[in-house]
A and B are shown apart, each in its own frame.
Chain A
């Protein structure tokens, strides 16, 4: 663990975003994770995405469960709201917070243990309800905090650091998210920020349940030969279907792409995602196709990354429930408690 605080000095020529912040202004405390942890790169990517989107830090709520991944919200967005909840219960806390105040940007940060084991049910229900959030799983396939047991996302046949072969089948969170109706589904790799940063930015801009599975090598317990979540393995088997640029505001789409290679997706808030196709046949609007594509490539041992599915017209939980738009904490007492006459009227309507 690094004992010194990260120096306050920054490069004098750092660019500032629309709010006048540099990316350093989106940092949190210094990481206490192991040196080289993939999670720290995801932290850096979240910082970069929020900086690029010129997000006001106080408009963000970052919520996590328990585990190495769930410690990371301490390391980014030091001026945002945070809730480090119970193991596996991030989705419920996030859902509750979102229902109470829909004006904030909800960032759920979880790990493979937190979401695929103890919190598997919670994960499933928050996705199927369509909570407007960005749900990031920092997936290293191993229980790092307890020294390297296989997690539920470890591939069958992969080897632990001690040489034991995993005999259990793996849960593919991306496949589950697709099946449960997530409206923005992506997978990426902590060692590939050029792909990851725009994915996070696009997910934050997406209205509805966004899910990103980020493979994040555990340097201490899952970065050896035989692991399928090591830097070397992921780099060798990474099959990116697309790369993207997020365009906010009225910027015209850059025209320097070869025709037919770029697909522009406009989200409900007007932001645009320019998808540079790598796999020409891949259609990110086809949920069924995506599921098949994923299964086919998984069988071949390939790790499909990129924006796998997006529904730009998605609805979220608030629309389903027809809730009040005003955050509950700003509702006045007479709105919250309209009096006995209103209660009588309600009761009468139910008789």
Chain B
């Protein structure tokens, strides 16, 4: 293998698994260290800069960081990154003084369709640069799906008000209750740019016999959740069936439990394991006495005299064809009818752009989705940008935020007369953490604690009121314990070939057997000759250039604890622990086009 180029910003970024996995690339270990130090406001601001909604995401994020977390490969469970984010939000001081000041207007106007996370992120990035931002939303208040679709027992209004308020306080104009009905009309208003962050607002239908006849008791999940959120709906039948296996289905069933549903059942077509819902959301639903039945396909809504009485299901099983694709085929068991009073259909969401006229210069593909550039988020109309669910279909908040940052950068570059396809490199800093011979400026003593559970409110109380938040969040002590579990993967092991005397001290001390001195070879071959097995080829090997004896140093990044013992036991300082801080370049960073590189 060629010697690893650690000057390439991506190399060490990939080692910080959580940050690499996060669509917004939030510097996770950095803020977790700040939480451990009790610097909650600082931790909050790092998050605010990167993911805009720390309090909201700390309760609702889909957490792509956690399955990626190195701790999950070292022991059973990853660090509770998401709930630590909430800790920063819960315990911070008043941070309003740290927010950007509303800027003098630069005369450029940007319109936003929809007031959800994507639009608000773009507005957050552009408003401090002097852009006049106008956000249109059909709902009276800002927040989009965060406010309408996520139940209050998971995300209280106060948190949404606070964090959307920070953005609107930057001088962003919010026009609530003003739904955009025509793109053409909006274009006619001569905005300098338009950002479409209108989400995926349509719940998918389930067209099976009985749907029309029993319509009064069959509700589309996201619409029903929005109605609950605005107080239009406040009760449901005692027996409820929720169809679908995503997070919306989990929100539906738990909401139903709070509105009078005594016997709420979730039924999914696929297997329990393959459900799209996050594992913790499934756990929370099961904890609230909601059974989840799998491998059952709804075939008919049963009704008597226009009144829904139940749903009939066909039992299926999974079969895999020669290509390994899964097919659901009837299992042969007799159909089963489950009686119910109401059904909530949460089988997916769709995009809908009936308000975009064909002659707006915005082209659509064969799936009726706008043609959007995945890097710049511009549509075929150079002034119109898309982001969030509106761009590439339903994902989640953190993706909308990531899209928003990139779209804001594009809009800023376009309106500054620059080429929007030229994307700035991230800002990278790397610095030694050495304080003394065996002292580091980070806590390298690895905690053996298992993941701490987030305290929940007592179930009896939680189920009584739909606005009572179920999760109580970590207290300071639990937060400290959980923060200590973080392995500080951003404190990198940096190797200098010229200083190494091949004494083996690092290889001997490494608790995870990450380091091997051996003859060089191709990657596949090298992986078989390491001190410990190398089961994750997606985790890089750090390879040095040739050492004096002709061998190379190979470090498998996979399960390195970043404990720094290699550097402590190195007599020549060939190993050093260096903190690698990488921050995505957002619109308006001081030198957005200047290329920077690591080290």
Q: Which residues of A contact B (CB under 8 A)?
A: 1-14, 24, 30-31, 34-38, 40-41, 43-44, 190-191, 193, 217, 219, 223, 231-232, 235
**B194: interface (CB < 8 Å):** no
Q: Are A35's CB and B571's CB within 8 A?
A: yes
Choose the segment among B23-31, B423-431, B505-513 that binds chain A (4+ C-beta atoms closer than 8 Å).
B505-513
Q: Are A4's CB and B505's CB within 8 A?
A: no
Interface centre among A7, A12, A217 (most CB of B within 10 A): A7
Contacts of B509 in A (CB 8 A): 2, 6, 30-31, 40
| Chain B, range 433-464, C-beta contacts under 8 Å to A | 437-439, 444-446, 448
Contact A231 B561, CB 8 Å, known A3-B438, A41-B508: no
Choose the segment among B1-9, B148-156, B264-272, B496-504 that binds chain A (4+ C-beta atoms closer than 8 Å).
B496-504
Contacts of B570 in A (CB 8 A): 35-36
Closest-by-CB residue of A relative to B556 is A11
Q: Are A10's CB and B502's CB within 8 A?
A: no
Cβ-neighbour of A36 out of B437, B438, B501 (below 8 A): B501
Smallest Cβ distance from B317 to chain A, in angstroms?
33
Q: Are B568's CB and A193's CB within 8 A?
A: no
Smallest Cβ distance from B6 to chain A, in angstroms?
23
Interface centre among A1, A36, A235 (most CB of B within 10 A): A36
Q: Are B533's CB and A36's CB within 8 A?
A: no
Cβ contacts A to B, 15 pairs, < 8 Å: A3-B438, A4-B446, A4-B563, A4-B565, A5-B445, A7-B446, A7-B511, A11-B514, A13-B533, A13-B535, A24-B511, A36-B505, A36-B570, A41-B504, A43-B508
Q: Are A9's CB and B568's CB within 8 A?
A: no
Contacts of A2 in B (CB 8 A): 438, 509, 565, 568-569
Contacts of B561 in A (CB 8 A): 7, 9
Q: How far is the CA of A12 from the CA of B446 in the complex (A)?
A: 16
**B358: interface (CB < 8 Å):** no
B-side interface size class: 35 or more
Contacts of A35 in B (CB 8 A): 437, 505, 568-571
Q: How far is the CA of A128 from the CA of B439 in the complex (A)?
A: 48
Cβ-neighbour of A219 out of B511, B565, B568, B571 (below 8 A): B571
Contact A44 B501, CB 8 Å, known A3-B438, A9-B561, A35-B571: no
Cβ-neighbour of B74 out of A3, A6, A9, A190 (below 8 A): A9
Q: How far is the CA of A11 from the CA of B513 in the complex (A)?
A: 7
Q: By DSSP majority rule, is chain B's interface helix, strand, loop, or mixed?
A: loop
Contact A9 B533, CB 8 Å, known A2-B565, A38-B503: no
Q: Which residues of B contact A (CB under 8 A)?
A: 73-75, 437-439, 444-446, 448, 501-505, 507-509, 511-514, 532-533, 535, 548-549, 559, 561, 563, 565, 568-572
Contacts of B514 in A (CB 8 A): 11
Smallest Cβ distance from B353 to chain A, in angstroms?
48
Q: Are B565's CB and A40's CB within 8 A?
A: no
Contacts of A43 in B (CB 8 A): 508
Contact A11 B532, CB 8 Å, known A44-B508, A235-B549: yes
Contact A12 B74, CB 8 Å, known A4-B445, A41-B504: yes
Q: How far is the CA of A193 from the CA of B518 in the complex (A)?
A: 12
Cβ-neighbour of B504 out of A5, A8, A193 (below 8 A): A193
Contact A36 B513, CB 8 Å, known A13-B533, A14-B532: no
Contacts of B73 in A (CB 8 A): 12
Q: How far is the CA of A251 from the CA of B380 in the complex (A)?
A: 71
Q: How far is the CA of A1 from the CA of B437 in the complex (A)?
A: 8
Contact A11 B502, CB 8 Å, known A6-B509, A36-B569: no
Q: Are A12's CB and B505's CB within 8 A?
A: no
Q: Are A12's CB and B503's CB within 8 A?
A: no
Q: How far is the CA of A46 from the CA of B371 in the complex (A)?
A: 65
Smallest Cβ distance from A216 to chain B, in angstroms?
10
Smallest Cβ distance from B436 to chain A, in angstroms?
10
Interface centre among A11, A43, A191 (most CB of B within 10 A): A11
18 more contacts with CB within 8 A, not counting A4-B445, A40-B505, are A3-B438, A8-B448, A9-B74, A10-B512, A11-B513, A11-B514, A11-B532, A11-B559, A12-B73, A31-B569, A35-B568, A36-B571, A37-B503, A193-B504, A223-B501, A231-B501, A232-B548, A235-B548
Q: Are B504's CB and A44's CB within 8 A?
A: yes
Contact A6 B565, CB 8 Å, known A35-B570, A36-B570, A41-B508: yes
Contacts of B437 in A (CB 8 A): 35
Q: Are A10's CB and B549's CB within 8 A?
A: no
Closest-by-CB residue of A relative to B570 is A35
Cβ-neighbour of B503 out of A5, A6, A7, A41 (below 8 A): A41
Cβ-neighbour of A9 out of B446, B548, B549 (below 8 A): B446
Q: How far is the CA of A31 from the CA of B509 in the complex (A)?
A: 9
Contacts of A30 in B (CB 8 A): 509
Smallest Cβ distance from B73 to chain A, in angstroms?
7
Q: How far is the CA of A345 from the CA of B301 in the complex (A)?
A: 105
Q: How far is the CA of A64 from the CA of B565 in the complex (A)?
A: 27
Smallest Cβ distance from B434 to chain A, in angstroms?
13
Contacts of B571 in A (CB 8 A): 34-37, 219
